[in-house]
């Protein structure tokens, strides 16, 4: 509950999962808290076991301003569990968090690690199914499956109408 209160007062939430203009990299998620004292932010990082603390704005930005530090969780696959834990403790921004959770679930988790079962399914299905068919079966996007297939060293070479699997 303490993190939820701190975030409601000094935090922000950014999520865009609409893949604008067909670019996979146009999706992003940030959950941040900004403070002039970095100690609470390092405490959050230690307690949650994730995220980074960095200088957001140096004191030299304006003469009478203090240095601002920011704690940031990047990636919906990391942030969604935190949002779900925060939600029952929120008083003023629960609607924002509820909408964001719904959008993340509708679009899928960006950069969600592949399970061993998913990787094995890709290995076993690459020669018989298209990336689009594999994506539909495991709940990923076609581009994500293609990238993971390449990462696994499975490359499809097209020769006219035939597809050859090269491992």
- The count of other CB atoms within 10 Å of the CB of residue 140 is 21
What totals of helices (H) and strands (E) does the chain contain, helices first?
A: 7, 6
**What pLDDT is stored for residue 116 in this prediction?**
94
**What pLDDT is stored for residue 27 in this prediction?**
63
**What pLDDT is stored for residue 111 in this prediction?**
61
Cα–Cα nearest to 83, from 166, 4, 167, 165: 4
- Tell me the whole-structure pTM to 2 decimals: 0.62
**What pLDDT is stored for residue 55 in this prediction?**
92
| Per-position pLDDT tens, the chain of length 167 | 889 999 999 999 998 765 555 544 446 789 999 999 999 999 999 999 999 999 988 777 677 888 899 999 998 888 989 999 999 999 999 999 999 888 887 766 556 778 999 999 999 999 999 999 998 999 887 878 888 898 899 987 655 455 555 55
């Amino acid at each position: 509950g303490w993190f939820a209160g701190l975030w409601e007062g000094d935090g922000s939430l950014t999520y865009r999962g609409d893949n604008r203009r067909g670019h996979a990299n146009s999706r992003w998620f940030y959950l941040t808290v900004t403070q002039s004292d970095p100690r609470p932010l390092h405490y959050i990082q230690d307690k949650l076991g994730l995220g980074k603390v960095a200088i957001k704005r140096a004191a030299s930005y304006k003469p009478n301003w203090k240095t601002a530090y920011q704690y940031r969780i990047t990636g919906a696959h990391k942030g969604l569990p935190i949002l779900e834990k925060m939600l029952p403790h929120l008083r003023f921004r629960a609607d924002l968090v509820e909408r964001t959770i719904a959008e993340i679930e509708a679009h899928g988790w960006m950069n969600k690690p592949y399970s061993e079962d998913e990787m094995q399914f890709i290995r076993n299905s690459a020669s018989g199914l298209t990336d689009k068919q594999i994506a539909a079966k495991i709940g990923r996007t076609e581009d994500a499956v293609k990238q993971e297939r390449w990462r696994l060293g499975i490359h499809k070479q097209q020769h006219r109408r035939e597809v050859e699997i090269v491992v």
